[in-house]
Every structure is written in C-alpha cells, then in structure tokens.
C-alpha cells in the first residue's frame, strides 16, 4: 500500500487530511509536535484512520529541527518500507503589526512554516528519487499570495513555500515526482477560532461564497493532488478560498 506522511496532523487541517487519505486507501504516517497533548490527539487521529482499514502510525518531531526531520523521514521509511506522498502541513501564526514584531516572532514562524519544508523535503525527495515516483503537497496560504496586515512573518513564510514548490517541481519532475501547493483562505480550525466576531464579519464581506471553508474542503484538494487524477499537474499553487481574491 502507498504511504503518506502528513506533518502537524494531530488536529485541524492536518488531521482531516490524514483521515481523508486513509479513506482513499493510503497508509498514514502522522507527525505530531513532541508534546503529551499532541501525542494523545495524534493517537486519536491514527485510530480514526485505522477505521478505514489502513495502517496508521504516529511519529513525534518538531519540524523546525533539521535533525528531527531527517530522523522522522528515516523512521517512516523504516517502519512502512516506502514513502510515496508528503504533506507539509505543520504551521503556526504569531500575528502582530510589523513595527511591534519581535525577532523571535519573525524567526519562529519562518522556522516552523518555511524551513520545515526544506527540512522535510530534502530527505523525502532523496527517497522518492530512488523509488522513481512521489508526490508532495505544501501548505501555503492566501497570505502568501496577497499579504495580510499583522502577518508579515506568516506571509513571508507562505510566499516562500510557493517559490520552493515551483523550484522543487522543476528539479524533480523528470524523476516522476510532482510538487504542488494549496493556498487556503479562511478555514474553520483552532487557528481561526482566535479571530473576533468583528474580524470575521469583515472577512466574510470579501469572500464570494460568504462563509469560512471547512477542513474537508482542503483535504479533498490535497487528496486530488496526490492522486493519479492529478498526474499532469506540478509546480502549481491551488487557491481554496471561496473566491476571496476576485
């Protein structure tokens, strides 16, 4: 069975992607942040994946650490025997205005959201090159396409991911490896629960479909991009925002 590794999959969009890919028939490697709370949630997600009749295991790693990512990818390959799909989903926000942003707020968001994609893709792509196949989906954001006030650090990290996706796609396309990104708009998750009602009302105004997205609506596009139905799509960033940018 083909194996998919999803980072930051203990909750939110990552957990939903793991469950959707399990339904699609992928064996699932669930990465979670190394904390007791995240481990417990990841175990719950793994149980739900197994209900689809596939194998699902959890793996602790902080994706901002180059060494922990190398160890994570090796552990998944050792445990499952192959690694056919990678979803770089883990991400954080530390929102504040540029003039108030601390160096720590900038550096930590870049490390978790952006450098993690390098940390994860380097060892994964080596495996996929030997296998002569593979697919990667990186989690960008509309903030990386259009910017967002209060998200200088986050927008930087997500815009970088779009460039990294195109560069990697060009490097590895001849090896039968596809690399794409998705750029969600506002999706109902613990990350967006933090917004005030006033902030939400302002945002609805700009969305053609007049609602937040559901995590399943991201998972279904990731499922498509990893599948053979997307066999001639690489280097693309698919916006999933209910028509936010029109």
242 near ligand NAD, rule: CB under 6 A = no
228 near ligand NAD, rule: CB under 6 A = no
146 flagged as catalytic = no
Torsion-angle region of 222 (φ positive above 0: left; ψ -120 to 50: alpha; else: beta): alpha
Which part of the chain contacts ligand NAD (CB under 6 A), choosing from 2-10, 69-77, 126-134, 222-230? Answer: 2-10
Of 111, 128, 110, the C-alpha closest to 226 is: 128
Give first-to-last CA distance, the chain, whole Å.
40
Phi, psi at 139, each rounded to 5° = -95, 100
Write the CB contacts of 195 (distance below 8 Å, at least 6 apart in sequence): 203
Among 70, 92, 110, 233, binds ligand NAD (CB under 6 A): 92
Size of the site for ligand NAD (CB under 6 A): 26
| Cβ proximity of 50 and 79 under 8 Å | no
**Cα 44–154–37 angle (5° rounding)?**
20
Which part of the chain contacts ligand NAD (CB under 6 A), choosing from 46-54, 59-67, 75-83, 122-130? Answer: 59-67
Binding flags for ligand NAD, 109-148, as an x/- string (CB under 6 A): ---x--------------------------x-x-------
10 near ligand NAD, rule: CB under 6 A = yes
Find the shortest distance in angstroms from Cβ 35 to ligand NAD: 8
**Cα 157–218–242 angle (5° rounding)?**
90
62 near ligand NAD, rule: CB under 6 A = yes
Q: Which 3-state string (H, E, C) describes 83-103?
A: CCEEEECCCCCCCECHHHCCH
Which part of the chain contacts ligand NAD (CB under 6 A), choosing from 74-82, 124-132, 171-179, 183-191? Answer: 183-191
Give the binding site for ligand NAD (CB under 6 A). Answer: 7-8, 10-14, 33, 38, 62-64, 89-92, 112, 139, 141, 184, 186-187, 189-192
**Residues annotated as catalytic (active site), given as ranges:** 154
């Amino acid at each position: 069975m083909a194996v998919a590794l999803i980072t930051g999959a203990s909750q939110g969009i990552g957990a939903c992607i793991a469950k959707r890919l399990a339904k699609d028939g992928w064996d699932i490697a669930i990465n979670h942040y190394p904390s007791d709370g995240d481990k417990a949630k990841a175990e719950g997600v793994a149980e739900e994946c197994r209900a689809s009749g596939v194998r699902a295991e959890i793996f602790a790693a902080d994706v901002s650490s180059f060494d922990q990512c190398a160890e994570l990818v090796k552990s998944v390959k050792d445990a499952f025997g192959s690694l056919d799909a990678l979803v770089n989903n883990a991400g954080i926000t530390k929102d504040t205005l540029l003039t108030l942003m601390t160096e720590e707020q900038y550096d930590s968001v870049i490390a978790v959201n952006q450098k993690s994609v390098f940390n994860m893709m380097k060892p994964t792509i080596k495996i996929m090159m030997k296998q002569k196949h593979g697919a990667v989906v990186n989690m960008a954001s509309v903030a990386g396409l259009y910017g967002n006030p209060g998200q200088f650090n986050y927008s930087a990290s997500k815009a970088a991911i779009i460039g990294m996706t195109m560069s990697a796609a060009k490097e590895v396309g001849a090896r039968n490896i596809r690399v794409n990104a998705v750029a969600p708009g506002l999706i109902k998750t613990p990350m967006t629960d933090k917004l005030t009602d006033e902030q939400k009302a302002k945002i609805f105004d700009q969305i053609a479909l007049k609602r937040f997205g559901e995590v399943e609506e991201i998972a279904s596009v990731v499922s498509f991009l990893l599948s053979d139905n997307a066999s001639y799509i690489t280097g693309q960033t698919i916006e999933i925002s209910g028509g936010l940018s029109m």
